[in-house]
Amino acid sequence: MKENYIDNPAALKIDLMLRGLRIDDPLVRAWACGMDGVDIMLPRNTLVNIPCREEFTKGSPYVLRKKGGGYAITDGRGEVAAELVKRPAFYDRKTSTGVPFSRIATVHGSLTSIAPSSRCDFFNASVECKYCAGNLDVKGADKTIYSVEEVVETVEAVLEEGVGGLIYLSTGFSEGTDGGIVFLKPYLHAIKRKFRCLVAVETLPPRENRWIDETYALGADSVLYNLEIFDKELYEIICPGRAASIGRKRCMDALAYAARIFPNGTVASHLIVGLEPPGSTMQGIDYLTGIGAVPILPIYRPRPGKALRIDPLTTEIILPVYKHLYRAVTEKKISLTWVRDLSMVTTPAEIRALVDDAGTRPSIVESFYKSRLGRKTAWGLSSLRRKLRVKASEGGEEGE
């Protein structure tokens, strides 16, 4: 290993996501390492989800060790304190219909991810995205659809425990022009009616803009239409279903339209690092920030039979991409309030530490929004703004 990232939490987060973590103690391994990896808090409140099961993690220089009453991560040359994030207690409880909450919701930092159905029709047509992590059911065999009541009970359990208060509702592809918002509508409506919480919605980009208006009117606080890959040719090869059914251009147009409807910083799109050359990801960052969308950069995790990662891919190679991201969002004055404290991806806010060390302290505005009062205010402002906008649009439906 040429570089040493152990003393820089933001860079270490990227290196850990890229190379994984070895957990030698079988008991700790069984307890901490889930299918999605292990959530660990590094210094400076840097939360990271680290792969620990995949084959490639066996070659990682990083090892989790017991230290005193806690844990540390070592790379053989130095070490850093590592706090294993406690499994939420509600995971051990069930809905009134007997479904374990842990099947419906997954907490990642400040975000709780809920997919009411594990279906994606791209699998049925064998045109699924080639990187798909398979957290949705790849064979289409699982026809389970959690009811609105089951999802509402789950959100209640999440909020009661005070973890992952930003609810992230997602769905896979289904035929139709709406991208999936019609399926999510009753869930979104029920959650917004019952709780004062923030809800982000991830669907495929709808083919018509009216569905974006509808998503906003329904009360979504944030929307994600994931472009995933900026390079046109690679997009078509890696995402055959998306390319044929929706198309890269429509995804970009939908994002641009959404960025005009939703408040600054609440329209986001993934660009997966490692599936295209870094220069191409940087072009994608420029495009997205240019239209007012927040690029979120997850790192591709190769799985057996899905080793699509570009080679070589090292932290030295991809750090400039993240730095570029931070400069771009700063230059375009895109708010980062909504994209923070996420363990699965490195957010623009974390990259500040790499670009400007003085910026590692949160600004007054960020500190405010992180507070309980700030959250309420964020909710109130977005709710008011929506009401004004929805009322102004003829025939618009009030979501609350």
Interface positions with ligand SF4 (CB under 6 A): 120, 122, 128-129, 132, 136, 172-173
CA–CA distance, 298 with 301 (Å, rounded to integer) = 9
First to last CA, the chain: 54
Whether the CB-CB separation of 328 and 289 falls below 8 Å is answered with yes
- Least distance from ligand SF4 to the Cβ atom of residue 134, Å: 8
- Least distance from ligand SF4 to the Cβ atom of residue 101, Å: 22
Beta strands 166-170 and 198-202, pairing class: parallel
The 10 Å Cβ neighbour count of residue 399 is 20
3-state SS, residue 231: coil
Cis preceding-peptide flag for 304 (omega within 30 of 0): no
- Least distance from ligand SF4 to the Cβ atom of residue 125, Å: 10
CB closer to ligand SF4 out of 88 and 205: 205
CB closer to ligand SF4 out of 132 and 293: 132
- Least distance from ligand SF4 to the Cβ atom of residue 225, Å: 11
**Kindly report the CA angle at 133 between 130 and 138, in degrees rounded to 5?**
75
- Least distance from ligand SF4 to the Cβ atom of residue 170, Å: 8
**Kindly report the CA angle at 365 between 203 and 192, in degrees rounded to 5?**
35
CB closer to ligand SF4 out of 49 and 60: 49
- 367 token code pair: 């500190």
- Least distance from ligand SF4 to the Cβ atom of residue 1, Å: 32
- Sign for the CA dihedral angle at 375, 109, 205, 196 comes to negative
Reduced DSSP (H G I as helix, E B as strand, rest coil) percent helix, strand, coil of the chain, to 5: 40, 20, 40
CB closer to ligand SF4 out of 222 and 315: 222
CB closer to ligand SF4 out of 172 and 399: 172
- Least distance from ligand SF4 to the Cβ atom of residue 120, Å: 3
Q: Which amino acid is at 28?
A: V
CB closer to ligand SF4 out of 122 and 262: 122
- 116 token code pair: 């009411």
CB closer to ligand SF4 out of 133 and 355: 133
